[in-house]
Homo-oligomer: A and B are copies of this chain.
C-alpha cells in the first residue's frame, strides 16, 4: 500500500457562520482589505452588503466582485484579479464558478501574471498567494477543497488551472447559505457530489486515504439529499449534504473522477447542460456496467451506504434520483446532435484521463452504447 493525501484546509461548519466573517478574519494578522467574489444572485439578496458593512466596521476595506454568471470566463478571472490586487484575503462565496474565480484571482493578484500564464499547467502557481476563504453555497463541486479550477479560455475552450497553491486556507460551511438553492439544483449538485465520492473511491487511483472521505461523503449525501430537496429549509439535511460535498471534494482532489465525468464533460462539449444533471445521467447510464466488474472498491463503496454489495448499486442510484426528482431529460439544444457526436466527444483527448481512470476498461463499443443510451433521453429541458 502506498498513497498520499493532499493537505486539507481548516474547516468551520455552522449555520450563520458567514455573517460573522469579520470575526473569522481576525486570526489572519494585518488584514487591511478583503475581496469578496460572490454569485450575482447571492449578492442581489443583500448578503454582500451586510458582510461588507461588518468588515468596514472592523476597519477592513471590503471589495466586491459579482459581475459574472454561469461558467467562469477568462474576462471574469481578469476582472476579479484586478480588484484583488492590494487586498490580503480573497473570499469566494457561491457555486464552483465563484470559488474558482476567487482561487485564481488570489494567485494572479500576487504574481501579476495573466491567468493564461497558468492554464493547463504551463507554469507553476506563485507559492505565496493571497489567503483564501471559500464558502460554497451549492453543495456540489467541492471546489472549496480541491486544487482544480475550471474556466473558459479566449475561444470558449474549457481550460483548467491546477495547483496546491490555489487551495483554500479556510473553508466555511454555512448551511443557511444553501437554503435558497431550488430543489432541482439541489438534487443535481447533490448527485454530482455523490458521484465525485463514488468515482474517487472506486477508480484506478482510489486508495485508503481518500476512501475515508469518499465513503463519509457518500453516507452524508445519500442519507440527506432527498430531505434537502423536499424540505429546502431543513438545515440539518442541508448541512449534511454540504459537508458531504466538501468531503467529496477532498476525495476527487486526491483521486479524480471516472466514466460518469467522461460523459458529462463530453455532453458539455456539445451544448450547455447543468454539470450535476449531466453527471447524474452519465452515472445512471454506466453504474450497472461498472458494478458488473465487481471490484473490492465498488463493493466497499456499496457497503459504505448500507447496501449488501455492488449489485445493489444500480437500483439504489435510480431510486435516489427518483426520490430527489431528477428527471431524465436533456436540454432541447441536444436535438441537433446524434449519439455519434456524443461518442466523438467522449473519445476527445481532453476526456481521456477520465476514461483511463475508470476501473473497468471502456471499449469503443462501450462508448457507443453509453452515448446511445444518453442521447435516447427526451430532449425537452
A residues lining the B interface (CB < 8 Å)? 1-15, 17, 29, 127, 169, 208-209, 212-213, 216, 236, 239, 243, 247
Q: Are B209 and A11 in contact (CB under 8 A)?
A: yes
Which chain B residues border A236 with CB–CB below 8 Å? 1
Q: Are A216 and B212 in contact (CB under 8 A)?
A: yes
A218 to B201 Cα, complex, angstroms:
21
Interface centre among A3, A4, A8, A247, by most chain B C-beta atoms within 10 angstroms, is A4
Which chain B residues border A6 with CB–CB below 8 Å? 10
A34 to B172 Cα, complex, angstroms:
35
Instruction: Tell me the smallest distance from the CB of A371 to a CB of chain B, in Å.
Output: 38
Please report whether the interface of chain A is mostly helix, strand, loop or mixed according to DSSP. Answer: mixed
Instruction: Tell me the smallest distance from the CB of A128 to a CB of chain B, in Å.
Output: 11
With CB as the reference atom, state the residue of chain B lying closest to A243: B208
**Contact with A4, one of B4, B5, B11, B247 (Cβ below 8 angstroms):** B11
Interface centre among A12, A13, A169, A216, by most chain B C-beta atoms within 10 angstroms, is A13
A40 to B9 Cα, complex, angstroms:
34
Which chain B residues border A17 with CB–CB below 8 Å? 2
A169 to B12 Cα, complex, angstroms:
20
Instruction: Tell me the smallest distance from the CB of A224 to a CB of chain B, in Å.
Output: 12
Q: Are A13 and B7 in contact (CB under 8 A)?
A: no
Instruction: Tell me the smallest distance from the CB of A227 to a CB of chain B, in Å.
Output: 15
A6 to B170 Cα, complex, angstroms:
9
Q: Are B29 and A14 in contact (CB under 8 A)?
A: no
Q: Are A13 and B1 in contact (CB under 8 A)?
A: yes
Instruction: Tell me the smallest distance from the CB of A165 to a CB of chain B, in Å.
Output: 11
Given the contacts A29-B127, A208-B243, A212-B216, A12 and B1 also touching, CB distance less than 8 Å: no
Q: Are A4 and B8 in contact (CB under 8 A)?
A: no
20 sampled A-B residue pairs with Cβ under 8 A: A1-B13, A1-B14, A1-B236, A2-B14, A2-B15, A2-B17, A3-B12, A3-B13, A4-B12, A4-B13, A5-B10, A5-B11, A6-B10, A7-B9, A7-B10, A7-B169, A11-B209, A29-B127, A208-B243, A212-B213
Instruction: Tell me the smallest distance from the CB of A76 to a CB of chain B, in Å.
Output: 28
Instruction: Tell me the smallest distance from the CB of A22 to a CB of chain B, in Å.
Output: 17
Which chain B residues border A212 with CB–CB below 8 Å? 212-213, 216, 247
Which chain B residues border A15 with CB–CB below 8 Å? 2
Which chain B residues border A9 with CB–CB below 8 Å? 7
10 closest cross-chain pairs (CB), A and B: A2-B14, A8-B8, A4-B12, A5-B11, A7-B10, A3-B13, A7-B9, A212-B216, A6-B10, A1-B239
Which chain B residues border A247 with CB–CB below 8 Å? 212
Which chain B residues border A208 with CB–CB below 8 Å? 13, 243
Given contacts A1-B239, A7-B10, 4 further A-B contacts (CB under 8 A): A3-B13, A5-B10, A212-B213, A212-B216
Which chain B residues border A1 with CB–CB below 8 Å? 13-14, 236, 239
With CB as the reference atom, state the residue of chain B lying closest to A247: B212
Which chain B residues border A13 with CB–CB below 8 Å? 1-4, 208-209
With CB as the reference atom, state the residue of chain B lying closest to A175: B1
A127 to B243 Cα, complex, angstroms:
29
